[in-house]
Amino acid sequence: MPARSPFTSHDLDTLAACPRRLWLERNVQAETTQVAKPAFAGHPERDQILHAALAATPEGQRICDGPDLQAAVNETNRHLGHNDHRPLFNACFIAAGLADAVTHDPAPAITVTADMLLPAGEDSWILVEILPALRIRERSLERVAHKIAVLERCGIEIAGAIIRTINPDFVLERPGEYRGLFSDHHVLGRVRHLVNDVPGILKAAQAVMKEPEPELPLGPHCTNPAPCRFLPHCTAHAPGPQWPVTILPDGGWKKWKRKGYDDLLALDEHEIKPREAMIVAATRSGRPFHDLEGAREAIGQWTYPRAWIDFEAASPALPRWIGTQPFQQVPFQFSLHLEQADGSISHHEYLCCDGSDPRKGCAQALVAAIPVDATLIAYNAGFERSVLRRLARDVPDHAAPLLSMAERTVDLQPVARSCWYHRAQRGSWSMKAVLPSVADLDYDRLEVKGGAMAQDRFLEAIDPSTTRERRQEIEAALRAYCRQDTWAMILLARRLTTAA
Ligand code: SF4
């Protein structure tokens, strides 16, 4: 077996979230030596945000973050050795033998990347952690502590530590002008006491890796703040009942857990709320719950033409288009199936992946495609309404029709929630959960499988370094994904209003 690569700050974050995830990540990833990724490694805007920070510090130097860890460490040492006291981006360090304060045993090696080092004096530096978020999180403080421990072990004197978050009030006024984008928070006093914990955390990570895969139970940490990529694996190998009480939605499971129930099927249908009883009954019988009359009544009120619509939007931390702010939702795509009273359906779409501001084109395409008397139908429609209202503000020439569209938008999801449940949904009414029970369609065979992935692909497509061929591939994948979203709504509505 090849030698293990040093732990990274990301590994220690992962250990805190779930030791099993650490074990899985390090055992499935290629056993090659990698440069430690910065705090926002994997963030689709990493390079652009670093570039904006670099542009605000033109005298800074950037260490190349290629795959060769030792080369990055050597380059860092070379720059530090020149002693010219210029800011350094992506400085890479590796430390072995951090001392455990209790046992004095040496901890395993760890490598970190300092997003920025600012000279603070003759021989000291200020560590800057760039966080593509509006607020500091506890994990960010811990990550700064990991880095201070490593840098100090490498002989770097730390005079200060800053977490640089995104300023929510920033508005892009000129292309590429990002002065004022960041807000600095001095945190050395808040993290100093955490630095001593780092050797112990490293040894805990090492202990996890020495053992077989930990059998830890599933829990809220598996889906919050984002679904863990090992969820299918852990679900398949989860001990316990096939239908756990945690299936009950909206936190309804908590009281049953407190009472000692694990198995959904052990609940007495007569002692629980009607909605929970419906879930238990559908799970027990294997037959879906279907309120045909309720669905017909709700959907029958939606007049024709019906505009089944879905938006994809990007909310980049780094505003790209004039007048936009950090994390503002900017629609770059919609799919629209337009259904007439005679049953005929036409498909319309909009997609802008060339990097230009997509808002005006999106507004024009909506106004051109959607009749003034159409009912707009979305799934979880709050998002579509907010996109339309924001677009009305941003493209005032089309404000009136866009606001009218927002007013005419109805929501299919509450109808599904009250009129349909199949046990395969496992307590979820997301389109991905519902669709397999009503149609021979799923998202697994698509290259783009969800909204977050659509946004990532879009940001990749508009990146100037993306080739034309890759951009075309992404466009095709985005079109297929968004089109499926609106077609799926039609199939779901048909199933809801049709007797078995
Ligand atoms: S699915 Fe849950 S238990 Fe499994 S690795 Fe991920 S966070 Fe850990």
**What average pLDDT score do residues 17-31 get?**
83
**What average pLDDT score do residues 304-329 get?**
96
This prediction's pTM = 0.83
Cα-to-centroid distance, 450 and ligand 1 (Å)? 20
Which band of pLDDT confidence, cut at 50, 70 and 90, is reported for residue 37? very low
Please indicate whether residue 20, judged by its CB atom, sits closer than 6 Å to ligand 1: yes
Contacts of 236 (CB under 8 A, 6+ apart): none
Evaluate the CA torsion angle 464, 466, 469, 475 in order and state its sign.
negative
Please indicate whether residue 218, judged by its CB atom, sits closer than 6 Å to ligand 1: yes
Cα-to-centroid distance, 13 and ligand 1 (Å)? 14
Query: What is the length of the chain?
Result: 500
Please indicate whether residue 221, judged by its CB atom, sits closer than 6 Å to ligand 1: yes
Please indicate whether residue 238, judged by its CB atom, sits closer than 6 Å to ligand 1: no
In CATH, which of 2.60.40, 3.90.320, 3.40.50, 2.60.120 is domain 7-210?
A: 3.90.320
Instruction: Report which ligand 1 atom has the smallest distance to the Cα of 17.
Output: 7
What gap in Å lies between CA 120 and CA 78, rounded to an integer?
19
pLDDT of residue 29: 59
Q: What is the distance between the terminal CA atoms of the chain, rounded to a whole angstrom?
A: 56
Contact 386, 402 (CB under 8 A): no
Give me the percent of the chain exceeding a pLDDT of 70: 95
pLDDT of residue 42: 55
**What average pLDDT score do residues 302-328 get?**
96
Residue 82 predicted with pLDDT over 70 = yes
Q: Whose CA is nearest to atom 5 of ligand 1?
A: 21
Please indicate whether residue 231, judged by its CB atom, sits closer than 6 Å to ligand 1: yes
Cα-to-centroid distance, 206 and ligand 1 (Å)? 18
Among 55-69, 203-217, 320-334, top mean pLDDT goes to 320-334
Is beta strand 110-119 parallel, antiparallel or unpaired with respect to 124-130?
Answer: antiparallel
Which band of pLDDT confidence, cut at 50, 70 and 90, is reported for residue 3? low
Express each pLDDT in 118-166 by its tens digit.
Answer: 999 888 999 999 999 999 988 999 999 999 999 999 999 999 999 999 9
Residue 176 predicted with pLDDT over 70 = yes
pLDDT of residue 35: 41
pLDDT of residue 36: 44
Q: Whose CA is nearest to atom 7 of ligand 1?
A: 222
Cα-to-centroid distance, 49 and ligand 1 (Å)? 30
Please indicate whether residue 228, judged by its CB atom, sits closer than 6 Å to ligand 1: yes
Cα-to-centroid distance, 233 and ligand 1 (Å)? 8
User: What is the location of CATH 3.30.420.10 in the chain?
Assistant: 288-500
Please indicate whether residue 234, judged by its CB atom, sits closer than 6 Å to ligand 1: yes
Residue 456 predicted with pLDDT over 50 = yes
Which band of pLDDT confidence, cut at 50, 70 and 90, is reported for residue 1? very low
What gap in Å lies between CA 417 and CA 430, rounded to an integer?
10
**Average pLDDT of every residue of the chain:** 90
Residue 294 predicted with pLDDT over 60 = yes
Contacts of 9 (CB under 8 A, 6+ apart): 36, 39, 110, 112, 143, 146, 147
Express each pLDDT in 84-102 by its tens digit.
Answer: 788 999 999 999 888 766 6
pLDDT of residue 43: 63
pLDDT of residue 270: 80
Give me the percent of the chain exceeding a pLDDT of 90: 68
Q: Whose CA is nearest to atom 4 of ligand 1?
A: 234
Cα-to-centroid distance, 84 and ligand 1 (Å)? 46
Please indicate whether residue 431, judged by its CB atom, sits closer than 6 Å to ligand 1: no
Residue 33 predicted with pLDDT over 50 = no
Lowest mean pLDDT across 18-27, 154-163, 211-220, 467-476: 211-220
Classify 288-500 by CATH class.
alpha beta
Instruction: Report which ligand 1 atom has the smallest distance to the Cα of 21.
Output: 5
